[in-house]
Every structure is written in C-alpha cells, then in structure tokens.
Amino acid sequence: MDKLCIIGGIPLKGEISISGAKNASLPLMVASLLSDKPLTLENLPHVEDILSMANLLATLGVKLTMEGCGTSQNAQGKVITFDASTLSSRKAPYDLVRKMRASILVLGPLLARTGYAKVSLPGGCAIGARPVNLHLKAMEKLGAEIEIEQGYVIAKAPKGLRGANIEFPVVTVGGTENALMAAVLAKGTTCLTNAAREPEIIDLANCLVSMGAKIQGIGTTKLVVEGVETLFPATHRVIPDRIETGTYMIAGAITGGSITLRNARLDTLPAFVKKLREAGVILIEEEGKIHVSVEEEGLRGVDITTAPHPGFPTDLQAQTMALLCTAKGKSSIIEAIFENRFMHVPELIRMGANISLNGNTASIKGVNRLHSAEVMATDLRASVSLVLAALVADGKTTVNRIYHLDRGYEYVEAKLRSLGAQIERLKDA
Ligand code: EPZ
C-alpha cells in the first residue's frame, strides 16, 4: 500500500484550488437513476469514492460519458454525463457496497423509479456502527415492503411509492438524501421533518429541482416534496468541498503559514470558521478566495462539540484536533455524531501530543512541538489529520495506508507540495 513521507516544519505559502465536494457528488451521481434523461455533473473530484460510485452505477446499467478528465490539479474537474435510460439491474452487490457505504443511496431512487431494489447492507465501519434503519423506515413510510435476506435489503413497491410524512428521530444526512430522492417520484406530497440541511443536501435538492422535481423548504429542516411523473435532462455544477476547504485552512494555520484557497466558501462552514477564529486563525474572504494566516500571538485552545449542520462538522473534528495539539493551553472536543471517531488519537499521541480520552470527550493540552513517527489511520479524516500533524512535526513522518486519503482528497500531495510542503508518495512495490 502507498505511503506518504512528510518532512515537517515548513510554513506553507501560496494558492491552491479547492475541488468539487465528494459528499455532494455521490448523491448527485445517484440522482441520475431517477430519470431516463441524461444528467451532466460538472466539477466532480478525481477521488476513489467517485470511481467506486461510477462503477456501481455502471453495474446497474447506467451509461457514463466522461469529458475533460483531469490529470493535474489545474484541471477544472471532471464532467460526466450519466444516462440511466439503459438501466438493466436493480441489485447493488455486496462487493461494491462494502467498499463505500454511500452505495445505500441507490435504494430510494431505484425503488421510486422501478418499484424494486436489492441493496447489500453496508455492514460496520471504522468510525461507528452506522446503521441504515432510518433509510429503511423512510422507504416503509413511502409504502415499500422491506425484507432483509442474506445480508441484502430487498425493497418492493409494485404499485409505486406514495407521499408520506416522515419525521427523522435523529438528523441523518444519507437518510434525508435517500428519502428526498425517493419522494421526487412518489405519488402525492411528502413532508420530511428534522431533515438534515448540510450544504451537500442543498446541492442535491437544487439539482433535483433543475431536473424537474418540486421541492420546497430547501436549506431548512422541513422539506416538502410534491411528486412528479417525469424528469428532464439537466446539467449541474457540484459545490466546492467544504471539508477539503477546512482541511487546507488547518494546513495553513498549523504550519504558521499564509495561504489562499480558490473556489472556496466560508458560508458553508459557519461553526468551524467561528472556532478557528477563536483559536487565533485569521480568515479573510474576498472574491471567491479565502486567505488563511495566524495571529501574531499564535494559536490558542478552544472547546468544540460536533453537531449536524450548521454545527461543527464531525468531518473536520480529527483535523481540528491536530491543530489544537500545538495550540497554547487546553482544548476539549466532544464527538457527538459518531461513537468511535477518535482513531487518530493514539497516533497523534505517538507524535508527542498530550491528549486524554474519556468516552466521547477528548481533552488536549497544547505541546510546544510534535515529533515524527511512523503512523497509520483507519479512516479518511483521521488519515488527513496525521498528514496535518506531520506538516508541523520535527523530522520525517511516514503515514501508512493512505488509500483512505485517496478516497476523498484530490491530488493531496501535489496540492501540499505546491504550497511548499516536503511530501512524497512512496508507491507500493
Ligand atoms: C454522511 O454520512 C457523510 N457521508 C459522512 O462523511 C459524515 O461524517 C456524516 O454524513 C455526518 O455529517 C457522505 O455524505 C457520503 P448520517 P451518513 O446518516 O449519511 C446515525 C466523510 O468522512 N444513523 O448523517 O452515513 C449514524 O449512526 C464521511 O466524508 C442512524 O442511527 O451519516 C450517526 O450516528 C464519513 N440510523 C448519525 O445518525 C440511520 O439509518 C449521523 O449519520 C442513519 C444514521
């Protein structure tokens, strides 16, 4: 497996472009299943998860046509047209679903369009149990019969789905996306309450509207969908990746550097931006660019609790912890979304961090320096937090198992290198 070798201690400087959002792209790609008319998506990031989803859709019979395939970080992002008029299978097999949990999103659209779907249950995950019970309950509310057989969800609605009132007991991003897509073709009106309102959901809803869906309440916790019979061809541009944006803000700040992010938006990260500023990071937005630097007095500790949007994103928790490891004073981080999302903690401790864990709370005492070590992580955001820590650590750090990183960060080492980092990928022999 590939590794990254990083020599820390260089303040980053320069400008990079933020890619299209992975977590917006995945449901947008799936939305193509709702229609027999083509959907063109622009600004898709070149990351493994997108390839996995493309593979799954191709297995279902969707025809994919690719333009402008980017091979360098300057490429404008891939443009792919998805044509699901050739849909030929309604089964998402285990081998594809286990690679990527977001595969469960095909359930709603397949069921809504064809009255049947067979989708492998995703199984466990490195950051928590991550059940899909709320996805299934939503489909049942819309009139589907659900059975679990040999690890597969089998969902049937031979007479089609019908609108319903669905109230989510906890906020779920994927559950909201699945129900929203299914409701677009259900007969009558569907009301989703306590819906997630992440920017990725807004992006999905906007795309569905451009395909001909009727959705009200976009951006709020109550989505009202009036079912339609047919959809139209559409073209949609994926929003910039807010988690990648936040990750590079931390890369700039942790190294005491001064960097600029193009194609980035502060408004999609309200709680994160507030906490970063509280910690001493200077963030200035002008003309679609964000300038990142650090106050003269340096970084200071802050207290954080993750929460659904507009709260502090769990997907930036690990990276923020890396930042706080060298901030003056004490910090605390409460992880309130996933029960096991502290896999980076023992690795950061091996690099000299002072962190203690008590249930879902991490207490951090800032240290003057981190030092290099050989480290590895078991999920995407934990892996990148180790890269961030390595950027400021003394000496040469090796980050193992970086296939996690490749799932969600486009051209990570090229982008960091262009900011002055000493980073090298060692290919598996
Ligand atoms: C999405 O996952 C993201 N993935 C995750 O990004 C992100 O961490 C998460 O939302 C929270 O923001 C994609 O968008 C592809 P949830 P999702 O359903 O939809 C519980 C990354 O690093 N729950 O909002 O799977 C669940 O266990 C990742 O890019 C149920 O109990 O997350 C969790 O505690 C990883 N039953 C909470 O809800 C259900 O049926 C929120 O999960 C569904 C969820």
Q: Return the best residue to mutate from 22, 23, 166, 239 for the ligand 1 pocket (most ligand atoms within 8 A of CB).
A: 23
Rounded to whole angstroms, the Cα distance separating 45 from 21 reads 7
- Among protein residues, the one with the nearest Cα to ligand 1's atom 43 is 132
pLDDT of residue 74: 46
Q: What mean pLDDT value characterizes the chain? A: 95
Distance between Cα 316 and ligand 1 center (Å): 13
Higher pLDDT, 302 or 378: 302
Q: Which atom of ligand 1 is nearest to the CA of 130?
A: 27
Q: Which atom of ligand 1 is nearest to the CA of 136?
A: 40
- Among protein residues, the one with the nearest Cα to ligand 1's atom 18 is 172
Rounded to whole angstroms, the Cα distance separating 372 from 2 reads 18
pLDDT of residue 240: 97
Residue 251, classed as helix, strand or coil, is helix
Helix (H) or strand (E) holding 305: strand 303-305
Residue 170, classed as helix, strand or coil, is coil
Q: Is the CB of 204 under 6 A from ligand 1?
A: no
pLDDT of residue 67: 82
Q: Return the best residue to mutate from 56, 130, 146 for the ligand 1 pocket (most ligand atoms within 8 A of CB).
A: 130
For the CA atoms of the chain, what is the radius of gyration?
A: 21
Q: pLDDT of 206-241, one tens digit each? A: 999 999 999 999 999 999 999 999 999 999 999 999
Q: Is the CB of 130 under 6 A from ligand 1?
A: yes
List, in order, residues 6 or more apart from 267 with CB less than 8 Å away: none
Q: Can 125 be counted among the known catalytic residues? A: yes
Q: Is the CB of 23 under 6 A from ligand 1?
A: yes
Q: Is the pLDDT of residue 72 over 70?
A: no
Q: Which of 370, 321, 364, 372 is nearest to 344 (CA)?
A: 321
| Mean pLDDT within 381-400 | 96
Rounded to whole angstroms, the Cα distance separating 413 from 6 reads 10
Predicted confidence band at 345 (pLDDT cuts at 50, 70, 90)?
very high
Distance between Cα 422 and ligand 1 center (Å): 34
Residue 324 CA, distance from chain mean position: 22
| Mean pLDDT within 3-9 | 96
| Least confident window among 19-28, 73-82, 173-182, 340-349 | 73-82
Predicted confidence band at 77 (pLDDT cuts at 50, 70, 90)?
low
Q: Catalytic one among 125, 191, 207, 325?
A: 125
Q: Is the CB of 50 under 6 A from ligand 1?
A: no
Higher pLDDT, 161 or 401: 161
